[in-house]
Homo-oligomer: A and B are copies of this chain.
């Protein structure tokens, strides 16, 4: 879905850079004339991602911000169209399980992105909810996206439904 939506030159957001895999992937898709805005509250994530981008010679087209994604409205100009944004909600796999995304800041970031989303642009949320606080955040996100105007956005949910222990699922918000 991401590579169908993102074209060279587009501006996109990695709202939770974590280990940097998504950031590198997005930087490759937008190319030297595009821009990736990456956010993370953990310095280790910023460092890991910087190293990954350097190794691929992709630093020029990426702006990393060591702050939560709720600050993106201060980093990205209000009139700048965003083609794609990716969130991994929950904690960083292999990292500190006490550092998790939170409902209020997640929703602030999603709403800032909705205002900037280009036509056919997508916000992709990979929702992990098995950790303490995860169900609360997942429910807050669902409550928000289920009420988005169907004439302005298509919201798709995609996930496995026969797994115990809160399997992750994907939500995609696409602007019409």
Binding site for B on A (CB under 8 A): 142, 145-150, 153-164, 171
Question: CB-nearest residue of chain B relative to A153?
Answer: B162
Partner of A156, one of B145, B150, B153, B160: B160
Partner of A145, one of B146, B162, B171: B162
Chain B residues whose C-beta falls within 8 Å of the C-beta of A156 in the assembled complex: 158-161
Question: CB-nearest residue of chain B relative to A164?
Answer: B150
Q: How far is the CA of A150 from the CA of B158 in the complex (A)?
A: 17
Chain B residues whose C-beta falls within 8 Å of the C-beta of A171 in the assembled complex: 161
Q: Which of A142, A150, A163 has the most CB of B within 10 A?
A: A150
Q: How far is the CA of A142 from the CA of B162 in the complex (A)?
A: 9
Chain B residues whose C-beta falls within 8 Å of the C-beta of A164 in the assembled complex: 150
Chain B residues whose C-beta falls within 8 Å of the C-beta of A160 in the assembled complex: 150, 154-157
Nearest CB of chain B from residue A159's CB, rounded to whole Å:
6
Q: How far is the CA of A87 from the CA of B154 in the complex (A)?
A: 24
Nearest CB of chain B from residue A147's CB, rounded to whole Å:
7
Q: How far is the CA of A144 from the CA of B145 in the complex (A)?
A: 27
Q: How far is the CA of A155 from the CA of B164 in the complex (A)?
A: 12
Q: How far is the CA of A155 from the CA of B162 in the complex (A)?
A: 6
Q: How far is the CA of A158 from the CA of B148 in the complex (A)?
A: 18
- Is B157 in contact with A145, judged by CB distance below 8 angstroms? no
Partner of A146, one of B153, B154, B162: B162
